[in-house]
């Protein structure tokens, strides 16, 4: 199993998105699907991990595993079995080029996937009542984002890449080991100091026929 850790993003790779992200998020670059009207969407999706090949991959350990929530933290748990995968509905985003990801079942208490953290090192969470969260007091290092996701065009396996912020940012999505066959997912802009081992990954959305 191959992991890597860093003391500075500059030691990882050039091209990382620099600086913390807070407040309004720039629209993802070209390649994201433009959702003009999500108000009556019936598109349900589940998410699986695509490990990146190369010297930093843990291809056998995490590739193809399904994501679910554990104590509201999104990750790979219990070996990432498909039957436990979290399900989301495409919802309205901050603008017409991005979406929100309300989680199933949709009920009285609002739930949606989002990113929360500081200094560009953000935890992927199942948020409760995100629309009621007061973001006015966030400082320039803090992020609370849940309506700024984008899904790419379907690939040859009919999977769509989930992105946030700037598409193809490096590292972007990362998986951190937290136990045997268990990983939690974060989004990392490459700028903050990180000392824990992690592997860069992609998150792929698969259409789910909800009945």
User: In angstroms, what CA-CA distances link 102 with 43, 60, 96, 126?
Assistant: 11, 30, 16, 9
pLDDT digits (tens, 9 = 90+) for 16-73: 333 333 333 333 332 333 333 444 557 899 999 998 765 455 555 788 999 999 999 9
Decide: 171 and 16 in contact? Cβ < 8 Å: yes
Task: Kindly state the average pLDDT of the residues 76-97.
Answer: 88
Tokens linked to 21: 């992200």
In whole angstroms, give the CA distance from residue 172 to residue 165.
9
pLDDT at 12 over 80: no
Q: What is residue 109's three-state secondary structure?
A: coil
What are the CA-CA distances from residue 121 to residues 93, 101, 172 (Å)?
22, 20, 10
Instruction: Give the predicted TM-score (pTM) of the model.
Output: 0.78
Q: Which CATH number fits domain 33-208: 2.80.10, 1.20.1070, 3.40.50, 3.30.420?
A: 2.80.10
Question: Would the pLDDT of 5 be above 50?
Answer: no
Which residue ranges make up each domain of the chain? 33-208
Span of 23-32, 85-94, 152-161 with lowest mean pLDDT:
23-32
Residue 156: strand, helix, or coil: coil
Q: Which residues touch 180 (CB under 8 Å, ≥6 apart)? A: none
pLDDT in tens, 99-116: 999 998 777 788 999 999
Whole-angstrom distance, CA of residue 178 vs CA of residue 157: 29
pLDDT for position 156: 92
Mean pLDDT of the chain: 77
Q: pLDDT tens digits, residue range 200-210?
A: 899 999 998 86
Contact assessment for residue 189 and residue 19, using Cβ atoms and an 8 Å cutoff: yes
């Amino acid at each position: 199993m191959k992991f890597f850790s860093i003391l500075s993003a500059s030691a990882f790779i050039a091209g990382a998105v620099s600086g913390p992200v807070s407040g309004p998020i720039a629209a993802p670059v070209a390649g994201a699907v433009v959702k003009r009207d999500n108000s009556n969407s019936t598109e349900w999706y589940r998410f699986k991990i695509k490990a990146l090949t190369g010297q930093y991959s843990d291809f056998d350990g995490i590739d193809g595993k399904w994501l679910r929530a554990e104590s509201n933290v999104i990750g790979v748990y219990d070996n990432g079995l498909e039957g436990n995968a979290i399900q989301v509905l495409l919802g309205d985003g901050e603008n017409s080029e991005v979406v929100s990801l309300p989680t199933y079942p949709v009920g009285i208490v609002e739930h949606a996937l989002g990113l929360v953290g500081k200094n560009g090192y953000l935890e992927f969470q199942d948020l409760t009542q995100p629309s009621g969260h007061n973001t006015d007091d966030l400082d320039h290092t803090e992020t609370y984002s849940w309506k700024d996701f984008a899904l790419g065009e379907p690939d040859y396996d009919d999977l769509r890449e989930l992105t946030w912020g700037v598409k193809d940012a490096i590292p972007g999505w990362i998986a951190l080991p937290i136990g045997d066959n268990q990983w939690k997912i974060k989004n990392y802009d490459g700028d903050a100091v990180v000392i824990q081992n992690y592997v860069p990954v992609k998150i792929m959305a698969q259409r789910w026929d909800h009945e």
